[in-house]
Structure 1
Amino acid sequence: MKTSWKDLPPVPTSQEFLDVVLSRTQRRLPTQIRAGFKISRIRKLDTDKDLLNTLYDADHFRIALGQLSTAKHLIETVSRDYVRLLKYAQSLFQCKQLKRAALGRMATITRRLKDPLLYLEQVRQHLGRLPSIDPNTRTLLICGYPNVGKSSFLRSVTRADVDVQPYAFTTKSLFVGHFDYKYLRFQAVDTPGILDHPLEEMNTIEMQSITAIAHLRSAILYFMDLSEQCGYSVDAQIRLFQSIKPLFTNKLVFIVVNKIDIMRPEDLDIEAKGMLQEVLNSGDVELLQLSCTTSEGVMAVRNAACERLIADRVAQKLKAGTSSSGAINSRLGDLLNRIHVARPMDGLQREVFVPDAVKERNKYDRKDPERPKLERDIEEEEGGAGVYNIDLRKNYILDNDNWRHDKIPEIFDGKNVYDFIDPDIEAKLAALEEEEEQLQADGFYRSDESSEDEEDADIRAKAELIREKRQLIQNEAKMKKSLKNRAVIPRKATTKKLSDMKSHLKSLGLNTASTSARARSQSRGRKMVSIHSNREGNAMDMDSPLGSPPEAPLRAEGRTRSQSNRREDGVTATGARSKAEKLAKLGQKRMNRMARQGEADRHTTAALPKHLVSTIFLPPSLGLISQSHSFLANEGWVRLNDGEV
């Protein structure tokens, strides 16, 4: 059967064919294909381009991407050619063969990209391990010779997990750490060590530092080791600073002297000190000192660099908001109009006043034996946290020290208790106690027990009846709540005994003689109707099933329903019924928890019972076919199901 090309599904586009190729070949090269297309879309930022040229061979990278682009063009050409062939195919089988041939050619083209895709996958994995550096945020860039303490400083001010070892070139790539200063987020970048030789002779590790210094907008912290334990002299470190100084243009530069616990700038010889002073006087360079071993000056260096960086960024923004003539543009003007600095109305400058007691107070020294004892020291002496409880009242200033732990309220009914204390309250309390003792001795508080009158007894009896009635109502409500999932008998079908009605009316104080007589006269009983009387009329009025005698509706009409309580049938006592219900719930609890099948659940032993699905084929020669199945006999077979022909 031939199929017209109009009956075929819509012809796929070249992009859809390309997606098919990628999905068919991802078993062989799943990650490499994704790597190539991801890397081809990398944003060409200056920092990324230079870092990419530094870490990898740029020519090799371009060749790999070129081969990938050529393969993509060839696959699109193949798909375009075979789409034309599909339009003029004669049958669906021919379309499938063309599709198979196109996918084979595309897979062959993709298979030839094995080596370029493996290289691009390695590049992608290495790029994924590089740190994420934000070029627009506030940045501190740490550089210098190897083993001068750059990584130690980064670990001291941030949470970056940098490897610190006592040998050179421990850091082989860029590391980034973050910290907060004055509610602002800063990032610190640790660079590998740099040696003093031309850029053409620097290796890949050193070129990473040069790239970061050249492109990142940051404050430069150039670390120096004056003790020369890093293996390089002070003269060599100063020459390295002079050689990379052109990269510090338009940036804040700090010379940070590390390891001051061993050697300070004041301890240098005259020649080294002069060289260092010449570097500091040559430009806007600030000298900072610290020791990562003893943590001396670490936070001071960080805070000083952050303060200068914040001030410099604010100055640059102000400069960008003004024209060459000094006029403020609209954006900066709107910002300055929203800022208001409150000043004294009289124009006087009021200096900060610090009390002399605060000025004379000595700094707290833990090793000083005459230091004031703090609560922390008392806590350690008394057993530590969880054992010692601070006494907040021991420093109360009162007239009597014994009043500190008195259990009296300070505020009562929204008023200060101390404002209402009578100064003669002690004398008045003593006089009141003497008066009470005298009244008790005279027998003033003695009184005979008053006998209960009839009215009080009646009220007490009625209250007891009300309590019992309330308890019965509560119990009945609890039972109804427990039976809420069971079938409820309609109110019309429930029966009320005449004795219950009489007892209820008597409890209300009503006479029940006439009421009970009227109820007996109106109660329905079994009608005494003759079978032969009005047989024809009854037979005409009521429809009876076929085969039933005409007097059956009369018997059904006169028969009363018998009501029974299913909860009380077969149980002699209320306690036994409650115990049986509790045991039934406990027995069902395990099956409910495990979601197992219970006794009440429907169960079929076999999914397909044999007597419902079995079929017996008999030839018509056996003579077991009835007349109604003669049309099946003509075909030569018959089905027997459930023993019926």
Structure 2
Amino acid sequence: MLKPEDFRRSIVHEPGEFLAILERRLRAAGSSGRAGPRARLLEKLSTCYQLVDGELSKAEAFLKKIVEQGGFYAELFKLEAGVEPGEVLKRVKALRRAAGNIYASSRSELKSARGERDAREAFRAGVGRLVSIYRRNRKTLSAVRRVALEFSRMPDVEGDLRVIIAGMPQAGKSTLISRLTNAKPEIGFYPFTTKNIIAGHLPVEPYGRIVLIDTPGILDRPMRERNPVEHRAVLAVKHLADALLFLIDPSPGKYYSLDEQLNVYRTVQNMLQGKPLKIVLNKADATPPGELEEACERVRREAGVEPLVISALTGLNLDALKNWLTGLLKTGTRGF
């Protein structure tokens, strides 16, 4: 898996930032005055090319990482940018070749110019063509920048066992991960408080580290109708999960019915392809005993498994949940 720092080095500048940097560097290039006028122009032309090529090379390196990694990152790139990363990589490579050709031809024209006026014309034309590569392709480069920034903010999900915490909005996923790990997610009282992936780490000596990943809530609706927030959760389940905790809210104040929550459970179960899954009935502290037992019976009957009843808020049965997770880590669930 890639880490956030793998992406920070690949963040290109916005066109406005790029032009400001270029202006500063062109002023500084050849400012010593020791070289002749033509040598200074050659140095400035080289400065412009190096900046353009440096930005394109950062974009290329980022896209190569995404294409090579595939899976989660490639699908998330397409979700964020609306285009396959491989197609953007081809485009950026072509732009680098074009910039190299422009630089080579402009340098040759500048060196062979008959007089100072022709040399300045060759210089201005070369710089203008190099800058136009950035300007004409600002949409592509801005998309690469936006996705690289998004990826750089993602948490470190490296560990010995990755466990997704999934469920519908307001099931208590963020509260649970904050109680089990060192993560500090935003705890809200409205759906979709969690808009990105949040990870917390649970060390289990001497076996290794469990990574718990809190995902945005998934609604009970067809995939084509899901918004980008839900798609992030789906991609995490599909590509990152070694195992999964599915939280159900059975309380009287629940946002979604048990029917809706069980429908989402079936969707998530199909994505896991047989990997370990535990249904967790949360908010036992806010659910009358009779309603809690009724919800347990529904899960037994319709899902065919025994749910674990907890309260993330009060800590009820969190030790039992940790024991289940530790058992998966001990038996080497990764690659299940």
Q: Please give the per-residue CA displacement for 1:265-313, whole angstroms capped at 9, x wherever unaligned.
A: 765576x5543212453xxx55222112221111321222221342143
Residue from 114, 135, 140 that aligns with 2:163:
140
Q: In terms of mean alpha carbon deviation, does 97-106 or 157-166 score higher? A: 97-106
Residue from 148, 172, 175 that aligns with 2:195:
172
Q: Is the 8 A contact 2:296 2:307 kept in 1?
A: no
The question of 1:57 aligning with 2:85 is answered: no
Q: Is the 8 A contact 1:260 1:291 kept in 2?
A: yes
- Per the alignment, do residues 19 and 67 of structure 1 end up closer, same or farther by CA in structure 2, a change over 3 Å counting? farther
Please list, as runs of the form range in 1=range in 2, the aligned pairs for 1:26-65 lying within 5 A after superposition: 36-44=59-67, 45-58=70-83
Equivalent residue number for residue 293 of structure 1: 313
Residue from 239, 254, 273 that aligns with 1:249:
273
The question of 1:120 aligning with 2:140 is answered: no
Q: In terms of mean alpha carbon deviation, does 112-121 or 157-166 score higher? A: 112-121
Equivalent residue number for residue 282 of structure 2: 258
Q: Is the 8 A contact 1:265 1:273 kept in 2?
A: no
Residue from 219, 228, 234 that aligns with 1:204:
228
Q: Is the 8 A contact 1:226 1:265 kept in 2?
A: no
- Per the alignment, do residues 123 and 19 of structure 1 end up closer, same or farther by CA in structure 2, a change over 3 Å counting? farther
- Offset at residue 246 of structure 1 (A): 0.9
Distance 1:167 1:88 in 2: 68
Q: Is the 8 A contact 1:253 1:286 kept in 2?
A: no
- Offset at residue 208 of structure 1 (A): 0.9
Residue from 315, 320, 326 that aligns with 1:306:
326
- Per the alignment, do residues 98 and 212 of structure 1 end up closer, same or farther by CA in structure 2, a change over 3 Å counting? same
Q: Is the 8 A contact 2:280 2:308 kept in 1?
A: yes
- Offset at residue 168 of structure 1 (A): 1.6
Q: Is the 8 A contact 2:246 2:279 kept in 1?
A: yes
Relative to the length of structure 2, the TM-score reads 0.73
- Offset at residue 204 of structure 1 (A): 0.7
Distance 1:166 1:85 in 2: 66
Distance 2:194 2:134 in 1: 39
The amino acid across from 2:49 in the alignment is: V
Equivalent residue number for residue 181 of structure 1: 204
- The RMSD of aligned alpha carbons is 3.5
The amino acid across from 1:245 in the alignment is: Q
- Offset at residue 147 of structure 1 (A): 0.7
SS at match of 1:223: strand
Equivalent residue number for residue 595 of structure 1: none
Distance 2:132 2:262 in 1: 60
SS at match of 1:239: helix
Equivalent residue number for residue 538 of structure 1: none
- Offset at residue 205 of structure 1 (A): 0.8
- Per the alignment, do residues 18 and 297 of structure 1 end up closer, same or farther by CA in structure 2, a change over 3 Å counting? farther
- Offset at residue 213 of structure 1 (A): 0.7
Distance 2:327 2:286 in 1: 28
Residue from 250, 255, 266 that aligns with 1:231:
255
Distance 1:185 1:162 in 2: 19
Please list, as runs of the form range in 1=range in 2, the aligned pairs for 1:573-588 lying within 5 A after superposition: none
Q: Is the 8 A contact 1:194 1:206 kept in 2?
A: yes
Q: Please give the per-residue CA displacement for 1:153-172, whole angstroms capped at 9, x wherever unaligned.
A: 10001121111122221111
- Offset at residue 62 of structure 1 (A): 7.0
Equivalent residue number for residue 21 of structure 2: none
Distance 1:249 1:63 in 2: 30
Q: Is the 8 A contact 1:68 1:113 kept in 2?
A: no
Q: Is the 8 A contact 2:99 2:133 kept in 1?
A: yes
- Per the alignment, do residues 149 and 88 of structure 1 end up closer, same or farther by CA in structure 2, a change over 3 Å counting? closer
SS at match of 1:196: coil
The question of 1:21 aligning with 2:49 is answered: yes
- Offset at residue 49 of structure 1 (A): 0.7
SS at match of 1:230: coil
Distance 2:110 2:77 in 1: 44
